[in-house]
Amino acid sequence: MTHRATQRGITAGAATAVAAAALTLLSTGAAHAAPDSVTWTDRVASVTRTVSDANPKAGDTITVTTKFERSTGPDLQLNWVKDFHDACLTYVTDSATMNDGTGDKAVEPYLEMKPGFVAGDFMATSYRVFVKAASPATFTVKYTVGASCTRGTPLSSGTSYQGSLGKGDYNSYGPFITVAKDSDGGGVSTGSLGSLLGTGSSK
């Protein structure tokens, strides 16, 4: 009886140790995410680009958002928005959405997909996109990090857009994405144009 009880104790202890190890592993995986963002203002809008993990590993999926804001009228109607990315990143099908405060709306099939960018055509969609004072519009896309991505080197990203009040071309404004080396668990972002300058850049 004593022997059997001891065996049960060992089994329970081992299970607890395995569970703890699994929890630690999951926690470590989640902890490596390092979000980064950069903001700038031109004569049309204030633009904020954010990446969910600026130091991902190959195989990870990252989310990139581009938010357009205006502090005063008139309203800005967005005609199209491009999201520039390194060709080693692969767009995740059906992940592109636009939200102007009325909920996420799908962009496909009106999304042009090229190796270096994706572009949403909001003049072709069934809805129109307006950036109003205190009511931003956010373009969101997801990418899978490819095995061909250069490790440890910042990969540029950016946006361009056109709307009723003008256009902007910022195809390398960031945030920069640095794919972790295979032996690196991820961690600190190498930064973006905004963080390198100390603040967002202004036009």
Q: Report which of 104, 93, 85 is spatially closest to residue 160, judged by C-alpha positions.
A: 85
* Domain encompassing residue 13: 1-31
**Is the pLDDT assigned to residue 21 strictly greater than 50?**
no
Sign of the alpha-carbon torsion through 122, 127, 85, 116: negative
In this prediction, residue 183 carries a pLDDT of: 64
Looking at the domain assignment, is residue 174 inside a domain?
A: yes
Same-domain check for residues 82 and 153: yes
Based on the domain organization, do 44 and 26 belong to the same domain?
no
Cα–Cα–Cα angle for 78, 81, 85, rounded to 5 degrees: 165
**43 and 1 co-located in one domain:** no
pLDDT of 6 strictly over 60? no
Instruction: Supply the mean pLDDT for the chain.
Output: 82
Q: What integer pLDDT is reported at residue 134 of this predicted model? A: 87
So what's the pLDDT on residue 184? 58
58 and 22 in a single domain? The answer is no
- Global pTM reads 0.76
Give a yes or no: residue 202 inside a domain: no
Are 76 and 25 in the same domain? no
Pairwise pLDDT comparison (90 vs 30), residue with the higher score? 90
Dihedral of the CA atoms 39, 43, 44, 49 (nearest 10)? -10
- The DSSP line for 13-26 is HHHHHHHHHHHHHH
Pair (191, 97) in one structural domain: yes
Q: Per-residue confidence at 14, pLDDT binned at 50, 70, 90?
A: very low
Q: Same structural domain for residues 129 and 59?
A: yes
Asked whether residue 118 falls in the same domain as residue 105, the answer is: yes
Burial class (CB in 10 A: 0-12, 13-18, 19+), 130: buried
Do residues 19 and 62 share a domain?
Answer: no
pLDDT at residue number 25: 35
| DSSP code per residue over 37-56 | EEEEE-SS-EEEEEES-SS-
Return the higher-pLDDT residue of 127 and 7. 127
pLDDT of residue 28 exceeding 90: no
Question: Are 63 and 2 in the same domain?
Answer: no
User: Model confidence over 75-101: pLDDT tens digits?
Assistant: 999 999 999 999 999 999 999 999 999
* Together in a domain, 42 and 62: yes
Q: Are residues 137 and 173 in the same domain?
A: yes
Q: What pLDDT score was predicted for residue 9?
A: 40
pLDDT at 26 over 60: no
The answer to the question of residue 203 being in a domain is no
Can you give the CATH number for the domain in which 117 is found?
Answer: 2.60.40.740
pLDDT tens digits along 142-183: 999 999 999 999 999 999 999 999 999 999 999 999 999 876
Quick one: average pLDDT of 97-113? 96
Report yes or no on 80 lying in a domain: yes
- pLDDT (average), residues 61-74: 97
Number of domains in the chain: 2
